[in-house]
């Protein structure tokens, strides 16, 4: 007997591969249902401070009493754990349990490889599969916020994450320079095309040399969340595994102003 090509409503039946993706998204949604807000920290430009922003936002939110998870989704170059002086490894057996760091649940692909210096090479379809397995098999439990440190660029890894997860939206990070702003506007364009909200823009390494943050916010018509000044303490503290926003009052205040806008508090 020939298989029906239409649904009961007379609409064409979706291709099995599309049904598989829909099923996968459904499983992921159920798995992550204990997480109230999922926020991606993103920019197409490398080195602007995405990881710095993710770490400091996560620990500041935690210090304000929120339950927070922090995911290093930079699958090619995972370095978030270095900012936290963490060297825990996970066996790789499912389920994956994020590691507690002063109350924040942290997970990184770096925890699954023995040699951090060895290059990790993922190819297109593997990235999507790995990311979805990662999420389907991680026990985050109940969280107010999951902060996701996304890799730079517009390649498979950020795309897979955006497509698989129902993110609340992106926080875009730029530096004051026009060239960084142009690249960040590009990432915003991608987000818009994929119907992901832009929660706002942070200008990092602000030194008065430009107005990149405002330029991005104007162009993408989204909120300007605030600036984080260039401060040598970032390097010093991050290199010794300490969180600048928690250790330094001035830096903490800058992040607090931004967080108030994110949480609406």
Ligand X SMILES: Nc1ncnc2c1ncn2[C@@H]1O[C@H](COP(=O)(O)OP(=O)(O)OP(=O)(O)O)[C@@H](O)[C@H]1O
Task: Kindly list the residues in this chain that would bind ligand X in the complex (CB under 6 A).
Answer: 46-52, 74, 152, 204-205, 228, 230-231, 234-235, 238
Work out whether 52 is an interface residue with Mg ion (CB under 5 A): no
Segment contacting Mg ion (CB under 5 A): 46-54, 104-112, 127-135, 244-252? 46-54
* Minimum gap (Å) between residue 181 Cβ and ligand X: 14
Work out whether 51 is an interface residue with Mg ion (CB under 5 A): yes
Q: Which residues pair with 153 in a beta bridge?
A: none
Work out whether 108 is an interface residue with Mg ion (CB under 5 A): no
Work out whether 175 is an interface residue with Mg ion (CB under 5 A): no
Q: In what order do the strands lie in the sheet with 35-42?
A: 99-101, 104-108, 68-72, 143-149, 35-42, 169-174, 198-206, 224-229
* Minimum gap (Å) between residue 195 Cβ and ligand X: 24
Q: In the complex with ligand X, which residue's Cβ is closer, 52 or 62? A: 52
Angle at 242 between CA 48 and CA 131, to 5 degrees: 55
In this structure, what are the phi and psi dihedrals at residue 234, rounded to the nearest 5 degrees?
Answer: -60, -50
Q: Cβ-count burial of 30 within 10 angstroms (0-12 exposed, 13-18 middle, 19+ buried)? A: exposed
Q: In the complex with Mg ion, which residue's Cβ is closer, 67 or 148? A: 148
- Helices 16-31 and 156-164 cross at an angle (nearest 10°) of 70
Segment contacting Mg ion (CB under 5 A): 43-51, 90-98, 121-129, 190-198? 43-51
* Minimum gap (Å) between residue 46 Cβ and ligand X: 3
CA distances for 156 relative to 124, 139, 165, 241, angstroms: 6, 24, 14, 30
Q: In the complex with ligand X, which residue's Cβ is closer, 92 or 208? A: 208
Segment contacting Mg ion (CB under 5 A): 7-15, 44-52, 101-109, 191-199? 44-52
Which residues sit at the interface with Mg ion, rule CB under 5 A?
50-51
């Amino acid at each position: 007997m020939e298989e029906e090509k239409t649904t009961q409503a007379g609409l064409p039946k979706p291709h099995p591969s599309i049904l598989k993706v829909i099923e996968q998204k459904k499983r992921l949604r159920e798995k992550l249902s204990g997480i109230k807000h999922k926020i991606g920290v993103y920019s197409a430009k490398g080195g602007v401070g995405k990881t710095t922003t993710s770490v400091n936002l996560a620990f500041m939110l935690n210090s304000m009493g929120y339950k927070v998870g922090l995911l290093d989704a930079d699958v090619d170059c995972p370095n978030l754990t270095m900012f936290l002086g963490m060297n825990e490894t996970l066996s790789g057996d499912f389920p994956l349990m994020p590691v507690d760091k002063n109350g924040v649940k942290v997970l990184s692909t770096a925890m699954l490889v023995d040699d951090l210096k060895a290059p990790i090479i993922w190819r297109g379809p593997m990235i999507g599969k790995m990311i979805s397995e990662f999420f389907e098999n991680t026990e985050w439990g109940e969280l107010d916020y999951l902060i996701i440190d996304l890799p730079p660029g517009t390649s498979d890894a950020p795309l897979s994450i955006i497509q698989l997860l129902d993110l609340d939206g992106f926080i875009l990070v730029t530096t004051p320079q026009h060239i960084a702003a142009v690249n960040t506007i590009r990432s915003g364009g991608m987000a818009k095309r994929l119907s992901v909200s832009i929660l706002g823009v942070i200008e990092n390494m602000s030194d008065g040399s430009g107005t990149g943050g405002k330029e991005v916010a104007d162009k993408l018509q989204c909120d300007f969340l605030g600036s984080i000044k260039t401060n040598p303490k970032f390097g010093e503290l991050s290199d010794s595994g300490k969180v600048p926003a928690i250790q330094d009052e001035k830096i903490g205040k800058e992040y607090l102003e931004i967080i108030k806008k994110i949480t609406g508090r």
